[in-house]
Structure 1
């Protein structure tokens, strides 16, 4: 009978480390966790390290990394809160951006959430003759 693989995921801020192998291997590696985390942190803090962006299959569009969430509204606000989201986006682009971050919702759910966020004043929307409705975060003036 083969031994079931043993996996541990550790998230530190927006970085994630996954360790896998037999239970004994993983537990012995965890003894060295402090030095591993220190090395990973140093690697990410070096100059010249680029932030990873998600690319569409054809390579034309880059999508920002966002925190994984189970809430459609949080995913939309996170996407539109990035530099990518400063450009007005159509519902299809928002859906693709969410899917690039492994966040999946049907178009009908996204549409309903967008309407709700417009009514709440979180987003602004207008109609473009070529692209349909476009969405951006509502910049509230104090």
Structure 2
């Protein structure tokens, strides 16, 4: 792969240009130096395959629910091959996901019950609307 400008890097990484710049400001992606002179490169920053790999890593880690700070640590661990710490971060994330799943399952159960009550044909206000109005769900 040849070098690319930021717009192509962003497109191939599945993000917008501003997201790339945000990651650069947060220290998750390097900002290449502008080349000197006005030759064929015209002072435009160029990105390579390693930049794209790192961008995809950040996006994948975000999809798994890691915070930007945790992603920064994972990137540092990638350079040191510290498997124990990487495993610890993954375990912490799994615990957080389990808690989220338990919360969502509880919400699903409550909403299912309310939907059944709403469909029972009984008189009075809709139990779904009443529950949301009272902050019970």
TM-score tier after normalising by the smaller chain length = under 0.3
TM-score, normalised relative to structure 1? 0.23
Structure with higher strand content? 1
Structure with higher helix content? 2
TM-score, normalised relative to structure 2? 0.24
Computing the radius of gyration from Cα coordinates, the structure with the larger value is: 2
